[in-house]
Amino acid sequence: MLPLTRSRNRSRFPGLAVPQSALDLDFLSGTLDPRITFTRASSGTFFGSNGLLQTAANDVPRFDYDPVTLAARGLLIEESRANLLTWSENFGDAAWAKMNASVTTNTAVAPDGATTADKLVEDSTTSIHRLNGTASVSAGVVYTTTVFVKASGRTFLYMNAGVMHAAQSTFNLSTGTVAATAQGSAAIISVGDGWYRCSVTGTAPTTRSTQVFFQINNAGIATDTSYTGDGTSGILLWGAQLEAGAFATSYIPTTSATATREADTAVMTGTNFSSWFNASEGTASLEFSIPTASTAQSQVTFGDGASNERIIFGSAASRAGTSLRVIDGGSDQCNISLSQSFTLDQVVKVAGAYAVNNFAISQNGATPSTDSLGSLPTVNTLYLGSDGAGTYASCHLRRLVYWPVRVPNSQLQFVTT
């Protein structure tokens, strides 16, 4: 154990003489500690400090920013996903069928700063006005469809996951809200300069080739809307995506073929890990946020490369709270769950402490929850945004601090305020 010292971190534990933090990873700084090994076997997109969508090359970490406020959001970690739609930025291609509408390509500045956004223009008939692409889906699988869209004469977008009929919503591009939903779930997020990323999510009922509709709408109802067009009005579109999953992830550009963004893997092993980790007791403080609807996930794990030995800091599905789970010999020793829900992009501060038969966790200044029975695992690796067994989170990591002592429960609240 490290000797007790008066350090710059002592103020985080009022009234206590505690050792200096053995690890302090600040992901808001925009740089990655050299002891962390980061890999991603593909490029990946993120919003840069200028608010524009950017692309990071293979094995380059993504430090994401809010495209509206330009505030740093930290290290973006995501699971692997594939965009099943082709020509995601070229709606003039024949892969996108038009009905009572035309497409003017490369007519406006897109969210990445290039003049590559297309305009879907209604004709003057009294009918529905839309375009649609196709992709193959499998029965029982949940899919999420997204597109970047901006008003250009019309202010409503209707999205329908085609023959799936499992996801249908209309979005108000003037107010930035979901106007109506007929099936599935929907979300809209501002990305600046009048652009929104709209998404619908639903479960495919059959295995087949399906259509994805992007339709101009002149009313806020989640059904096909027939109206008389004026031949010039429409909406701007860019960056279409259909992915297997219950929530949207970062944009994956495609041309003539589908494309995959591989998972972000960030680990610390060997002496880089053992030099600061205390196997008999410790306290960790984590700050993170979740940018989209989510399943249960693990933000930070101390593990052994498998599933038998782990200490996991995680969050529940739909951001219903956080948890501390300790597994030794393949058996749960501690599994404390906090029912403290949080919203999209809300900064969550959680701290957990461990020792034999002595576990506790606190979230955002709340009274700690405890568990007084359980052994400790043997671990050798820090996993960021992963459970250490191949399952990845979808989150922004902001900061991780570790002290090689088990602090009193009364002090955990101070760490998370």
Residues 251 and 276 in one domain: no
Distances (CA, A) of 183 to 180, 209, 241, 268, 373: 10, 19, 19, 43, 46
Does residue 208 sit in the same domain as residue 275? no
* Residues 334 and 364 grouped into a single domain: yes
Residue pair 100/229 in contact by the 8 Å Cβ criterion? yes
Same domain, 235 and 255: yes
Looking at the fold, whether 202 and 271 belong to one and the same domain comes out as no
Q: What is the extent of the structural domain holding 348?
A: 10-79+263-415
pLDDT single digits (tens) 83-98: 999 999 999 999 999 9
Does residue 5 belong to any structural domain of this protein? no
Tokens (6 digits) for 260:
């995959």
Predicted local distance difference test score (pLDDT) of residue 55:
98
pLDDT for res 306: 86
What backbone phi and psi angles, to 5 degrees, belong to 414? -65, -30
- Within a domain: 271: yes
For 277, the token pair is: 């980790």
From 240, 261, 282, give the residue that closes a domain: 261
> What local confidence, expressed as pLDDT, does residue 283 receive?
97
- In terms of domains, do 200 and 319 share one? no
* Greatest Cα pair distance in the chain: 79
Round to whole Å and give the CA distance between 201 and 80: 18
pLDDT under 70 in the chain at which residues? 1-19, 162-165
Q: Report the CATH number that the domain containing residue 200 is assigned in CATH.
A: 2.60.120.260
Residue 270 belongs to some domain of the structure: yes
Element (H, E) at 409: helix 409-415
Domains held by the chain: number: 2
pLDDT at position 376 is 98
